[in-house]
Structure 1
């Protein structure tokens, strides 16, 4: 039987619909950074608390995603400019609230100003901190952005945490910024230990989330949040959390 132009068009349309029906969903592109124990590379593969949580969410939702460990600035830029992208773990701050869609919380971090033991410094407020000498922090960190917004005249932006900790070790700066979750791994970059430093002033407590690009489908955000909530309810989240952060308080 000969096909009329109408029949040919109809058959072509049905063929395309069938292809779409069996084609896999568009994979997400997920970015993270070297920030142990939350996310980092081990034996060429991403791992850490945040990575395991994300992998479990993917398993529960049946979705696909490529996780790439990149410098923070690259991932932060990508999730603001590319569709179907996510970045974790990302501190949820007022300055970032409208930039992303959020799933979480994953961790809670207490951020403080740290000095070497026996520094002789005493800080009771941000006003005291303004007079205490140079404060070093990576420019891309949320904590740098927070202190910058406070108008800290002695804030010094560095390229990364290793530079910051080396400056502290060799007494090129008296103060650095760090959170309680990653403090030990940050100090290790400069061959320091937690016993070598002391927190002088805590200026923020922040929850970290998975941040998605603004054009990410709301249904996907709901699916991910639901999967994370289920993990918290059935104990899987707690098991992952305390594997990497033994004894640390769970995020509310």
Structure 2
């Protein structure tokens, strides 16, 4: 009986340790919190996948840097959406893509700034960028020493509006929603130079079971094939092109 009890405790502990956990951030309209609850395109897709697989997992909205660190060290942990880049390729297991985006340097139109290359941007005074975002990692790897990392994109917009910075990094998916949150009109902004094209994925920790990754990818592919993914995408991103579907 003692052996059976110990075995049961061990199994219960293992099951608890392997419970699926999901993290996301404030990145409207793809994923964000509304009235204290996570929502957005990617959140709805993730919930649909869980419904199809019969799984349940809490979705926590946290600062990006925290979720990014947890998704690298905790087994069975997912972070969405995460831009898939060469620098991150070996850090995670991937399910997607959920969206496609173009990343650019932006400034207020009233600033009359002009930047036509990364080399010119490298010589600029200060560039605000969300900490540990793919764009931050890329520019840092390119040798940029003039970056000002901030907690999140909303903070970056407010800094721009208040004149604390003149140049920021944003992408085409979040531009309109984030500017709205910061009280800046789209017409007040100007894209100066586009330097990245990326696909957004669900990133799982490397310790996550391969069977879970395969099942989630299969269900996402099925959503793309039956039209349910496209319906969600048009709901949240009506003006953006669909990401690639499953390979034939």
Q: TM exceeds 0.5?
A: yes
- Does structure 1 residue 67 correspond to structure 2 residue 80? no
* SS of alignment partner, residue 221 of structure 2: helix
Whole-Å separation in 2 of the counterparts to 1:116 and 1:80:
36
Is contact 2:63–2:152 with CA below 8 Å preserved after alignment? no
Per the TM alignment, residue 231 of structure 1 is displaced from its structure 2 partner at its CA by 0.4
Point out the structure with max Rg over C-alpha: 1
Whole-Å separation in 1 of the counterparts to 2:45 and 2:233:
8
* SS of alignment partner, residue 207 of structure 1: strand
Aligned length: 239
Q: Determine the structure 2 residue equivalent to 1:58.
A: 50
* SS of alignment partner, residue 123 of structure 1: coil
Q: Determine the structure 1 residue equivalent to 2:230.
A: 238
Whole-Å separation in 1 of the counterparts to 2:144 and 2:104:
15
Q: Determine the structure 1 residue equivalent to 2:76.
A: 84
Per the TM alignment, residue 49 of structure 1 is displaced from its structure 2 partner at its CA by 0.3
Is contact 1:123–1:132 with CA below 8 Å preserved after alignment? no
TM-score normalized by the length of structure 1: 0.87
Q: 1:150 aligns with which of 142, 159, 176?
A: 142
Q: Determine the structure 2 residue equivalent to 1:39.
A: 31
* SS of alignment partner, residue 221 of structure 1: helix
Is contact 1:30–1:67 with CA below 8 Å preserved after alignment? yes
Is contact 2:65–2:131 with CA below 8 Å preserved after alignment? no
Q: Determine the structure 1 residue equivalent to 2:213.
A: 221
Q: Determine the structure 2 residue equivalent to 1:119.
A: 111
Per the TM alignment, residue 150 of structure 1 is displaced from its structure 2 partner at its CA by 1.1
TM-score normalized by the length of structure 2: 0.89
Distance 1:154 1:25, change over 3 A: closer
Where does structure 1 lack aligned partners over 5 or more consecutive residues?
1-7
Is contact 1:136–1:175 with CA below 8 Å preserved after alignment? yes
CA RMSD after TM alignment: 2.3
Whole-Å separation in 1 of the counterparts to 2:160 and 2:63:
22
Whole-Å separation in 1 of the counterparts to 2:64 and 2:145:
25
Per the TM alignment, residue 61 of structure 1 is displaced from its structure 2 partner at its CA by 1.1
Per the TM alignment, residue 125 of structure 1 is displaced from its structure 2 partner at its CA by 1.1
Question: Which structure 1 residue ranges, 4+ long, deviate > 4 Å from structure 2?
Answer: 23-26
Per the TM alignment, residue 24 of structure 1 is displaced from its structure 2 partner at its CA by 10
Point out the more displaced range, 146-155 or 239-248: 146-155
* SS of alignment partner, residue 128 of structure 1: helix
